[in-house]
Amino acid sequence: MSVTHDDVTAESAPTAQTIELPTLPALVVGTVSHTRRTPLKHAFTNRQYQWLVDLDDLPQHDWPMRVLTRIEARDHLDAGRLGGGIRGDVERFLANRGVVLDASDRVIMLANARVLGHVFDPLTVFWCLSPDGALRACIFEVHNTYGERHAYLLDVDGTGRATTEKAFYVSPFNDTSGEYAVSLRLDPGRVTVTVGLERAGRRILTATTTGVPRAATDGTVVRTAARHLLMTWRVSAWIRIHGIWLWARRLPIQPRRPHSQENVR
């Protein structure tokens, strides 16, 4: 199955999604694409890889591998402020919204690891699964280049789709109006996350990250990192390069207000 930009719709289904996982931890090696449709058309596709991990079994490497594989609580949600690492933050975030995880539930995260001390995650996804693979909750954590982040609790249907109101300033060329249409795929053969921004039924932009999960052996990590040199640094650089391109073509800048971190707690 592949997800195209026009396939993401605001459908709902009464059944819960059941997920079969690949071998973890894994590297999801593929691409990220972005298509802006209005008021200025602009599209790009870049190669990338991300980590797919169980929060109860994060990668543990000594130096020098550790400089390519560090996943730290300070980079997500409430930054581990109250203890329990990233999982502790996930559990508190959900409990504050009426969802209580059991100790036997798994939390699977799709994110970037620190590379040479640097990380930037435009989007982190958390799938919270019961022991039989049923999806109990799904969290989208969005980061912007101003050092802020916001987490959305998604109501995902049996087809892996959800909608949620936009509430966070990400791009300087879009305000916080509109709705996200989300499509998720997580299985042993493919991981795909598609997010479309819509206003008044009109698609504004679509972003898709997709790739094939590969068991994160030492050899796979070294080879993948070598093919995608300074990957997280490149993510930050490309965001700014494309922003300059849009600004140079006089796409209007939208005002930004400081964002409360209560939205990740």
pLDDT in tens, 76-100: 999 999 999 999 999 999 999 999 9
Q: How far apart are CA 201 and CA 11, in angstroms?
A: 14
pLDDT of 249 over the 50 cut: yes
CA distance 129 to 138: 9
**Distance between CA atoms of 52 and 29, rounded to whole angstroms?**
10
Position 13 pLDDT exceeds 70: no
pLDDT digits (tens, 9 = 90+) for 212-233: 999 999 999 999 999 998 888 7
Instruction: Give me 147's structure tokens.
Output: 């050092």
The strand order across the sheet containing 179-187 reads 149-154, 135-143, 123-129, 106-111, 42-54, 26-36, 202-215, 190-199, 179-187, 161-165
Query: What pLDDT is stored for residue 119 in this prediction?
Result: 93
What b/e string do you get for 135-161 counting C-beta neighbours within 10 Å, with b at 16 or more? bbbbbbbbbbeeebbbbbbbebbeebb
- Rounded Cα distance between 30 and 28, Å, is 6
| Residue of higher predicted confidence among 15 and 199 | 199
E-only strand ranges, 69-174: 106-111, 123-129, 135-143, 149-154, 161-165
Listed in sequence order, the residues at least 6 apart from 232 whose beta carbon sits closer than 8 Å to its beta carbon are 112, 113, 114, 115, 118, 119, 120
Give the pLDDT score at 222.
95
User: What pLDDT was estimated at residue 16?
Assistant: 66
Whether the pLDDT of residue 181 is over 60: the answer is yes
Residue 153 clears pLDDT 80, i.e. is over it: yes
Pair 82, 92: CB distance under 8 Å: yes
Residue ranges with strand state E in the chain: 26-36, 42-54, 106-111, 123-129, 135-143, 149-154, 161-165, 179-187, 190-199, 202-215
pLDDT over threshold 80, residue 247: no
Domains of the chain, by residue range, sit at 7-252
What average pLDDT is seen over the chain? 89
Residues 189-199 have a mean pLDDT of 97
